[in-house]
Amino acid sequence: MSAWFDKKIYFDNGSTSWPKAPGVGEAMASFLEQGAFNINRGNYEGAYEVESIVLDTRDKLARLFGCSDSRRVIFTPGITWSLNMFIKGLLLPGDHVIVSGLEHNAVMRPLEQMKEVGVSYDIAPVDESGRLDSEELKKLIKANTKAVIMTQASNVCGTLLPIKDIGKICRERDIFFAVDSAQSAGSIPIEMEEWGIDFLAFTGHKGLLGPQGIGGFLVSEALDKKLKPIIAGGTGSVSDSLIQPKSLPDKYESGTMNLPGIVGLHAALSYLEDIGIDRLQAKKMAVTSHFLSQLNSFSNIRIVGECDVNNRTAVVSVDFGKVDNALCAFTLEQEFGIMTRVGLHCAPTAHRSLHTFPQGTVRFSFGAQNTVEEADRCIEGVQSILERYENLDI
């Protein structure tokens, strides 16, 4: 892997970050090799040690996301699972939901499923750069609007949505506010309680620099009173009862947890606390800024989303116009060793909003380990591809 990877440039951190934070692999291997004890089930010192790491991971996540009680940090296999737990655990026939025009299928597909049982939704429009006007969203609110679900940053173009404004609007109207932090957690600040977020879905393997397969959500006290756990089973607590416990976090955490994943996430969060997410984000945005300035010199492509570093994350999407995007991505990888993601990014709603449906885009997403030199190599590749293919009818 390493010899092969030496020649490659990884620009697909929007899919999953790589490399992971220092210490993640070691922590997971050590856990598996030296005592992969279960929690909530074993009464011995080794199990207590693991339980203590799990608690510490909850505490770290609560601090990171501005939540005052770590019992309200729930682990799940990932953000898609979390969003399903919100959508299917809260919404009832007759309820109405508002989403942004930048949502991922992790939101849209469960909502489409819920349409079959009488839930309806509206999409708050965004402009061609992905900007959302909160006044437009307000116009969609109905008497039966129960929730607003919104990504904080687009996984297609990196544009940020006005989460604070929407949180305020929701709080004033007693509407539950759910935020998808897939592309923002670990990169930009999130203050769940201060911003009026009732449900914050997160994943561990992107900006948080942890392993795949671990994520979760944070739930507000008000929402917890209404949210039903769609998965029930053994929790190791109240074992004399057949009724799912109401205490947090057990209410939403039935079954054996992904402890290697939590241990890995714990190591990643420790690294982020030590180094600071601001510092990592500054590195990512420096590469993004350089890349965008170089891309802006090409007249024959379209940068989808914001064309500068304001109001965005380190995710850049490009529509190569006359040149097929898939061919561009393939050539970038095969000839220049640059790994990107091409297509619709599991977000056809976002691509429709950004006028890049059905052709999609080539997405370049940077991590803190990426460099300006790598961005320059990529630009050379783009230039070469454009010169070669532009005048061909392909």
Partner 1 sequence: MRKKELKLVITFHTTADAMAMEKACKASNVPGRIIPVPRAISAGCGLSWCADLSARDEITAMMAQAGIKEEEIHECMV
- Residues of this chain that interact with partner 1 (CB under 8 A) are 39-41, 43, 48, 51-52, 54-56, 58, 69-71, 235-241, 245, 247-250
Could you tell me the smallest distance in angstroms from the CB atom of residue 268 to partner 1? Answer: 20
Nearer to partner 1, 71 or 138 (CB): 71
- Assess contact for 332 and 382: CB atoms under 8 A: yes
Amino acid found at 97 = V
Could you tell me the smallest distance in angstroms from the CB atom of residue 37 to partner 1? Answer: 13
Could you tell me the smallest distance in angstroms from the CB atom of residue 48 to partner 1? Answer: 6
Nearer to partner 1, 6 or 240 (CB): 240
Residue-wise burial string across 109-135, b where 16 or more C-beta atoms lie within 10 A, e elsewhere: ebbeebeeeebbbebbebeebbbbeee
Q: CA dist 87 to 31, 80, 187, 266, 391, Å?
A: 34, 11, 25, 27, 48
- Assess contact for 208 and 214: CB atoms under 8 A: no
Nearer to partner 1, 51 or 333 (CB): 51
- Assess contact for 72 and 114: CB atoms under 8 A: no
Alpha carbon 231 to chain centroid, angstroms: 22
Nearer to partner 1, 252 or 366 (CB): 252
Task: Say which residues have a Cβ less than 8 Å from residue 241's Cβ, sequence separation at least 6.
Answer: none
Could you tell me the smallest distance in angstroms from the CB atom of residue 390 to partner 1? Answer: 58
Nearer to partner 1, 70 or 340 (CB): 70
Angle between helix axes 259-275 and 45-64 (nearest 10 degrees) is: 50
Omega before 77 cis (within 30°)? no
Could you tell me the smallest distance in angstroms from the CB atom of residue 274 to partner 1? Answer: 20
Could you tell me the smallest distance in angstroms from the CB atom of residue 82 to partner 1? Answer: 18
Nearer to partner 1, 219 or 295 (CB): 219
Nearer to partner 1, 239 or 296 (CB): 239
Query: What is the rounded distance in angstroms from the CA atom of residue 317 to the CA atom of residue 362?
Result: 6
Could you tell me the smallest distance in angstroms from the CB atom of residue 248 to partner 1? Answer: 7
